[in-house]
Every structure is written in C-alpha cells, then in structure tokens.
Amino acid sequence: MLLAVLSGFLLAAFAPLLTRMAGKSIGWLLAVLPASLTVYFASFIPQIQGGDALLIEYTWMPGLDISLNFLLDGLSLVFALLISGIGTFILIYAGSYLKGHPNLNRFYVIMLCFMASMLGLVLSDNLITLFVFWELTSITSYMLIGFNHEDMDARKCALQGLFVTVAGGLALMAGLILLAVMTGSYSLHEILNSSEALGSHGLYTAALICILAGTFTKSAQTPFHFWLPNAMAAPTPVSAYLHSATMVKAGVYLMARLNPAMSDGELWGQVLMLFGGATMLVGAYFAFSSTGIKKVLAYSTVMALGTLTLLIGVGTELAMTAFVCFLVAHSLYKGALFMIAGALDHETGTKDITRMGGLRHKMPMTALFGCLAALSLAGLPPLFGFIAKELLFEAVLEAPFWSTAATLAAVVSAMLVVGVAGLVAVKPFFGKPGNTPKDPHDAPLGMLAGPAVLSVIALLFGLLPFIPQNAVLLAAMQAVYGQPIDTYLSLWHGINLPLMLSGVSLLAGIGLLTLWPRLQPGLYAVNTAASRFGPEAGYFKVMEGITHIASWQTRVLQNGVLGMYLLIMVAITFGLTGYTLITRYGLHLSLQLGDSHFYEWGIALLLVVSAVFASSTHSRLGSVASMGVLGFAVALTFILFSAPDLGITQLLVETLTVILLVLVLFKLPEFVNLSSPFERYRDLTVAVFAGVVMVLVVLATLDIQYFESISSYYIENSAPLAYGRNIVNVILVDYRALDTLGEIFVLSLAALGVLSMLKLKAEDQHKP
C-alpha cells in the first residue's frame, strides 16, 4: 500500500528520462502505472464490499504521533479508483494533447506527483499526514495551473488558486488540530469510531469553522469559487483531471469523511446546506452565461461541488446515497467533457462556443462521446447522471429542514444545467457550420480514449446500476453516513415527484437553450458590471492591502540602517529582561570585593578603558585595535578563572575578528560623523542601560540558584560515559552534539550569506 501511494513520486523522478526515451508514446507508457494502481485498488473491493474498513499501518514519526497509516473503506476506495482510473486516461490524453511541447517532461513530473499526493490525501488515516498530502496537492496544482509559465495571465491565475487554497489550508490545519484536541486522537478511524458527541464540545464551533474554511476554499464554494474558473488557464489535461475529478473534490472528500463525526451538531448541516445551495446556484448561473467552453465546464463543476456539499449537509440516508452517486457520475461525465473540450480547442483552434457549429460531420467520434457525456450532465436516462439527479431531487424533497428552498434551488440549477449541457453538446456539434480558425478533424486516438471509456462507463452504470452499487458505492455510502445503509439503485423509479421535477427542469432547460443566443450578451454585460462587487474583487482588495502593510512595515522596521536595527534589538531585549528582573527579583546589590586581587582590578580597568576608547575615538583602526584589546582582556579573565578552552577560543576569535575587520576597514569611506548629538546620547543611554541590566542579571544569577547546577553531573560522568576528560569538548561533541550540529549549520548559512554578498558585489563592479 505504501508503495502504491508513493509510486507516483518514484515514477515522477524518472519521468523526464522516460519522456526523452519513449518519444511519442510516452503517455501510453506512463499510464501503465495508474492503470495498474486501478487494478490494485480494485482488488480490495471484495474486502471492503460489506462496509468494513481496512487499516494498513506504517510508522513514520511515532514520537510525534504521526503515522503513515492508510484507511481503506468504501469512500476512500471510490476516490482512489477515480483518481487512478481517470488518471490513466489523462496521462494518455496529455501525451497526445501536448505532443511536442518542450516542457512535456516537466508536465509529467508534476502530474505524477499530483496524482500520488491525491492518493495519499484520500487514503491517509492520520490527520497530519492527510494535511501534508493536502498541501502537496495545492502546491503541485499551482505548478500545473501555471504550466504555461511564460504567460503572465497563467501565472496570475495559478497564484490566485494557490493563495486561496493555501490560506484555507492554514485554517484547515488549525481545524484538524482542534479536532484532534477534542477527540484525543490524530487517527481518522479512531475519531470516526469514538462514541463521543462532538456537537456539544466547547471547541466544536471553532473546529467546524476552521475545517470548513479549508474545505470550502479547496472545493471552490461560494464566495471562494472564483479561483476555479480562472484556473482554466491550465492546459486542458490538467483541468480535466484536477478540476473535475480530483483536487477540487478533496474538500468534498474531507467533509464526507468527517461527516459521521461532525454531523451531530446542528451547525454542520445548516452551514453546508447554505453554502452548498448558494454555490450550486451561482455555479449553474455562471456556467449558463459564459461563452468559453472551459469556463462553462468550470462553472458547472462549481455547481456540482455545491450540490455535493448541499447533500452532505442534508445528511439523511437518502442524501448520502445521492452524494456518492452524484460524485461518481460527475467525475465520469466531467472528465470526459473536459477532454472533449480540449479536443475541440485542439482541432478548431478556438475555445469560444459561439464560433463552433455543425462539427458532428467533421468530428463524428468526438461528437458521439461528447453528446453521451453531456446527456449524463443533463441528467437524462439512461445515463448514470439521471440516477444521480433523481436521487438528488428525492433527497432534497425529504430533507429534514429547509426542504422547500433546497428543492427549489436544485430544480433551478438542474434547469440551468440542462441548458449548459446543451451548450457543450448541441452548440458545437449541431446547427450551421461555424467559422473556426483551423479546419477540424476527429481527435486522435489518445485524445478520444478517455472520453470514450468514461462516457461508456457512465452509460453502463446507468443501465446496470447494481454493478457499481454492489462493488463499492454501498460501502462508500455507509462510510459517509456512518451507519449501514440499505438501498437499491435503479433507473426507473415509477412516476413520482422527482421524475416530474426532472421533466419540468428538462423542458425549461431546453427553453433556456433556445433563448441563449439572445440572453447571453445581456447576461454577460450584467456579469461584467457586477464583478466589481464580486468576491474576486474582494480578493484583489485583500492582496493589495497585504502589499501595503508589507511595504509599510519594511519602511519602518527594515529600513536598512544597521545602527537602528541594533538599537531596536538591544533596547527591546534588555528592556524586557530588565523589566522581568525588577518585577520578579527586585534590586539586590551584593558585591563582595574583599578577596579580589590586584591583577583582577588591572584587567577590569583595561576592559573599561578599551571600551571607552573604542566608542569615542575617531580613528577606525584605533577602534578596531581597542576592541581587540577588550577581547584579549576578556580572554585573560577566562584564563584567570580556569576556563582554558574558553580562553583559547576567545583569543583566536579575537585575533581573527581583528583581521577580518581590518580587511573590511580599507574599503570604507573616510570617517565622517553623521549622527546628531541627540542620536549619540540616545545610543549611549541604550548602551549603558544594556550594560547595567547585564550586570544586574549576572549578579542575580550568582545570588539565586533555583536548582542544582548540572556541572557536577558532567564532571562525574564525562570520563566514564563519554570517555573524555575535557568536559567542554565532551559537551560540544557528545552530550549536546545536536546543538553543535545545528550551530555549524548556522555558521555555514552565515558563510554562504557572506559569500553571496561578496559575489553580488563583485558582479556589480564588472557590469559596464
């Protein structure tokens, strides 16, 4: 299992090499991995069919309670099958769609990484691991949306998607941690199996808000839906994969996964229904009023995501049945339609559906599968989409609350979706031939394989719904519902209210479709005018605000005057230390100078004199030299109080410091006194203050001892345990070796910083 999840990352490492070697057939070659993963996951069907959950355990960081455990039940298996199954066709499709693209190798690397992250996300049992994979999908999808990185627009859209989903991801992390605090476990199956009622827990609302902030942004719920249509800047294989079946469904997955644990609070259902319903309507409306074929599909995905959220919110047994069916149906037809859209774009040279028409003569196969998938989208029998839509109507009709509003919303959106399905199937393939930039042909095999298989599966599932139902769907429904479900999927339910609603929405949808050429320009104008107040405008306002704050704080805090930095750091550090010292300990001056020797007085005098000289002289060289004297005097102190190691180190460091300073010194301009007297007295005050506080702290540490000094332990144990008599060295390289390791890394970073600055300067000088 571990290998299955991580194999995508492994293959990604070899993808560039394979792309170079395999040439044109690379898509087919790489597709072997997801295809075999599909078979592998399918082999688990018998084990989880009855609603059991498999837990496959791998330890990762036991000390931090982070495991690589995988939870395989109906829900995660459905997702795993969708991810690897659709992934197979996407890889084949991409090989054909991006044929000869100079960055094809990079595309496959990121795509495989994305696939592996997505598998990890839906299979992880541990919340932290889940979150890691969650963020990996955000990052890889950022790179995929911005794949055409030379296009300014693509970069902007990719960044927008990243900001929205990662901001939500941060909230999600907080939410998952709160969830773990509430339940006392980071393991999903323990959380789901615990009998505790979370709804009455004090942290419930906070956890709910945080988790939903994460899932709503990821799954493009209103008002965060705007990033998804913009993400259509990605190449079509990416849209077909990320924005139909996988990444945007991650949020839906998590909501479904946590549903049994979270749904006992009333808030859960209400919030999900509210946002889901709103998203459904917004998505359906914008899908109907757009002209770019990918935008139409993207908004209809928003609609589908809203519907799924709504169904989780309804929360009844029937709603869960509808949820799982709608999820699978949507993944099948939307994946197929996106690939068809890409084929149209590829063959005709335009994305604008108003310019396409009558293509069924020139692209018969593309038209056939496109229409099949669109029928499923419209929810017409005998496709699987019909079953899903009927169940949706049934579920909202029987919703425990807000039933009328939800039904109304569902019917309106179904109506609009019929229109949308018409837009993507009828408009391009039927009617008068359009005027397209390229002379279209049927798409090549690689680009047709995906739509063909997916739409035929949608047809088969519709005709024979008991096959998927018995295989995994029932188990998935139970996983979402949290209790056993007994249901039977069928195409014909008799003449009932849902069927009538379907009929009404179909007729209204056809009506809308015929009106579309007249309605669309008006709707477009309204949308453009309204977009100034939309959520996307809010996003830009927020980003602008962040930039303003950043430049303001840089101006104030990072103004480049080193003296100021020092002043602030010293003042704050010693201010806080002094405050703590005075409030906690008070002022106790107990100095016993009786047993001091004359040479100690000598060294002290040397220290003071050299410090005063260093800060008052006008000669830089003199200042450096007296700093050196100061350092040597400190070294002498160490030696006097029998710390030879410290003494030697101090001597060497002082020597080298003086040398380094001298090297730098010759590059500096003439000494000029730039600071005003006020500034100098301010600096003096801060410096003296720091010195006084330090003296008080040292005196206080001599005076109080909260616990026994650890040095006796070192003295006793350093030779027998660590085979060394030099305690300082034993501490450095053995007892606290990790600290030292960290320190040499810090040292290296500092050195690299200096190196790059010197290099930068050298390059500056070479410039003409």
**CA–CA distance, 743 with 749 (Å, rounded to integer):** 10
Closest approach of another protein to the CB of residue 741, in Å: 5
Position 285: which residue type? Y
Shortest reach from residue 746's CB to another protein, in Å = 10
The reply on whether position 520 binds another protein by CB under 8 A is no
State which residue, 544 or 645, has the beta carbon closest to another protein.
Answer: 645
Binding segment toward another protein, per CB under 8 A, in 182-190, 213-221, 360-368, 724-732:
724-732
Reading the block at residue 572, the tokens are 């704050």
Among 32, 507, 576, 659, binds another protein (CB under 8 A): 659
Q: Quick one: angle between helices 317-348 and 403-429, nearest 10?
A: 20
- Verify binding: residue 724, another protein, rule CB under 8 A: yes
Decide: 373 and 365 in contact? Cβ < 8 Å: no
Angle, helices 497-530 vs 403-429, to 10°: value is 70
Tokens of 381: 């029998």
Q: Which residue in 219, 370, 423 sits closest to 302, CA to CA?
A: 219
Q: Name the phi and psi angles at 70, rounded to 5.
A: -115, 135
Non-local CB neighbours of 243 within 8 Å, separated by 6+ positions: 228, 231, 232, 234, 298, 301, 338
Q: Among the candidate windows 11-19, 151-159, 586-594, 642-650, which touches another protein by CB under 8 A?
A: 642-650
Of 45 and 732, which CB lies nearer to another protein in the complex structure? Answer: 732
Backbone φ and ψ of 702, nearest 5°: -70, -35
**Distance between CA atoms of residues 70 and 74, nearest Å:** 13
Which of the ranges 102-110, 226-234, 654-662, 678-686 carries the binding residues for another protein, by CB under 8 A? 654-662
17 belongs to the binding site for another protein (CB under 8 A): no
Part in contact with another protein (CB under 8 A); list of ranges 297-305, 513-521, 533-541, 733-741:
733-741
| Residue 759 beta carbon to another protein: minimum distance, rounded to whole angstroms | 8
Q: Which is nearer to another protein, 456 or 639 (CB)?
A: 639
Closer Cβ to another protein, 604 or 751, answer by number:
751
Return the bridge partners of 67, or none: 59
Rounded to the nearest whole angstrom, what is the least distance from the CB of residue 740 to another protein in the complex?
6
3-state secondary structure 463-524: HCCHHHHHHHHHHHHHHHHCCCCCCCCCCCCCCCHHHHHHHHHHHHHHHHHHHHHHHHHHHH
- How many residues touch another protein under the rule CB under 8 A: the total is 41
**Of the residues 499, 606, 700, 732, which one makes contact with another protein according to CB under 8 A:** 732
- Return the bridge partners of 70, or none: 56, 124
Query: Is 485 or 658 the residue whose CB approaches another protein more closely?
Result: 658
Does residue 620 bind another protein (CB under 8 A)?
no
Choose, by CB under 8 A, the member of 494, 590, 762, 768 that binds another protein.
Answer: 762
Residue 667: count other Cβ atoms within 10 Å of its Cβ. Answer: 7
Exposure string of 357-395, with b = 16+ CB inside 10 Å and e = fewer, is bebbebbeebbbbbbbbbbbbbbbbbbbbbbbbbbbbbb
Q: What is the 3-state secondary structure (H, E, C) of 134-154?
A: HHHHHHHHHHHHCCCCCCHHH
**Closer by beta carbon to another protein, 441 or else 761:** 761
| Sign of CA pseudo-dihedral 443, 449, 452, 455 | negative
- Is residue 655 at the binding interface for another protein, with CB under 8 A as the rule? yes
Min CB(648)–another protein separation in Å:
5
Q: What is the chain's alpha carbon radius of gyration, rounded to the nearest angstrom? A: 34
Structure tokens given for 512:
């809308």
The reply to whether 722 sits near another protein by the rule CB under 8 A is yes
Contact region with another protein (CB under 8 A), list: 1-9, 435-443, 602-610, 653-661? 653-661
Using CB under 8 A, pick the residue from 543, 648, 694, 695 that binds another protein.
648
Candidates 231-239, 469-477, 488-496, 734-742: pick the segment binding another protein (CB under 8 A).
734-742
CB count within 10 Å of CB 167 equals: 15
Q: Is the CB of 483 or the CB of 748 nearer to another protein?
A: 748
Cβ(112)–Cβ(12) below 8 Å? yes
Subset of 537-596 contacting another protein (CB under 8 A):
none
Please identify, using beta-carbon distances, which residue of 66 and 728 lies nearer to another protein. Answer: 728
Q: Does 747 bind another protein (CB under 8 A)?
A: yes
Residue in 644, 696, 702, 704 binding another protein, rule: CB under 8 A: 644
- The pair of structure tokens assigned to 395 is 């579920």
Nearest distance from C-beta of residue 672 to another protein, angstroms: 20
Report the C-alpha gap between 71 and 53 in whole angstroms: 7
Nearer to another protein, 493 or 736 (CB): 736
* Among the listed residues 537, 569, 660, 694, the single contact to another protein using CB under 8 A: 660
Site string for another protein, 73-92 (x = CB under 8 A): --------------------
175, 213 in Cβ contact below 8 A? yes
Which of 656, 684, 692, 695 lies at the binding interface for another protein (CB under 8 A)? Answer: 656
Helices (H), 224-316: 227-230, 236-240, 247-262, 266-289, 293-314
Here's the x/- map for another protein, 676-715, by CB under 8 A: it reads as ----------------------------------------
Whether the CB-CB separation of 629 and 641 falls below 8 Å is answered with no
Does residue 740 touch another protein according to CB under 8 A?
A: yes
Q: 615: Cβ–Cβ under 8 A, 6 or more apart, which residues?
A: 623, 687
Pick from 196, 544, 645, 679: which binds another protein (CB under 8 A)? 645
Shortest Å distance, C-beta 653 to another protein: 7
- List, in order, residues 6 or more apart from 174 with CB less than 8 Å away: 210
Q: Which tokens go with 153? A: 């627009």
- Does position 723 bind another protein by CB under 8 A? yes
600 touches another protein by CB under 8 A:
no
Among 336-344, 467-475, 565-573, 722-730, the segment contacting another protein (CB under 8 A):
722-730
With vertex at residue 506, the alpha carbon angle to CA 502 and CA 511, rounded to the nearest 5 degrees, is 150
Looking at 186-194, 299-307, 490-498, 658-666, which segment touches another protein (CB under 8 A)? 658-666
Of the candidate spans 218-226, 405-413, 492-500, 745-753, the one that interacts with another protein by CB under 8 A turns out to be: 745-753
Q: Is 25 in the site for another protein (CB under 8 A)?
A: no
Is 744 a binding residue for another protein by CB under 8 A? The answer is: yes
> Which residue number, 538 or 753, has a Cβ lying nearer to another protein?
753
Select from 587, 589, 663, 704 the one that contacts another protein (CB under 8 A): 663
The residue range among 364-372, 480-488, 592-600, 660-668 that interacts with another protein, by the rule CB under 8 A, is 660-668
| Cα 608 from Cα 54, distance rounded (Å) | 73
Member of 584, 597, 667, 766 binding another protein (CB under 8 A) = 667
Specify the 3-state DSSP secondary structure of 676: coil
Q: Whose CA is closest to 414, among 536, 561, 324, 283?
A: 283
CB 723 to another protein: min, Å: 6
Binding site for another protein (CB under 8 A): 644-645, 648-649, 652-653, 655-656, 659-660, 663-664, 666-667, 722-726, 728-730, 732-734, 737-738, 740-741, 744-745, 747-748, 750-752, 754-755, 758, 761-762
